[in-house]
Amino acid sequence: MSLKLVREPINKHLQKVPLGIIHVIPERCKECGFCIDLCPKDVLTVGEERNIKGYRWPKIADGKATECIACRMCEWICPEFAIFVVEVDRREHV
């Protein structure tokens, strides 16, 4: 199948890409790395601070804050209920 058949939608400028505000509960994190590995936009990385058990909870990587598309993969996969995403309107924040 020829790739030339794939067109750009004419209403692309009206499309809304979701934006997520990431919330973390540091004391619950066990540094398993799932959220970091599975974020499709590589928004998360290992944080610098440690919680009381010595685990480093995730933080947003430099310059990546606006790339979160609120897919919630981190929220779903986290075994600790330690991270969740609140979706906001991208146009109001970026």
Partner 1 sequence: MSQKQILKEKIVEESPRDDLIRRERFPHIWCPGCGLGTVLKCYVEAIAASNIPIDKHVIVSGIGCTGRIAGYVRLDSYHVTHGRPIAFAEGMKIVRPDLEVTVISGDGDLVTIGGNHFIHAVRRNVDINVFLVNNFIYGMTGNQMGSTTPLGAKSSTSPYGCPEFPFNLPLLAAALGAPFVARWTTLHVRQLADAMKRALQVKGFAFIEIISPCPVGFGSYNDLREGRDFIKLFLENCIVDHSADLNKVGITLRPGEPIILGNFVDREVPTYHELELEVFRKAGWLK
* Binding residues vs partner 1 (CB under 8 A): 21-28, 30-34, 37-38, 53, 55, 58-60, 65-66, 68, 73, 76-82, 84, 93-94
Nearer to partner 1, 9 or 54 (CB): 54
- The helix or strand, by DSSP H or E, that contains position 34, with its residue range, turns out to be helix 34-38
Specify the residue, 8 or 49, whose C-beta has the smaller distance to partner 1: 49
Can you tell me the distance from the alpha carbon of 52 to that of 32, in angstroms, rounded to the nearest whole number?
16
Q: How far is the CB of 36 from partner 1 (least distance, A)?
A: 9
66: exposed, middle or buried (C-beta count within 10 Å: 0-12, 13-18, 19+)?
middle
CA–CA distance, 79 with 63 (Å, rounded to integer) = 26
Cβ 41 to partner 1, closest distance in Å? 13
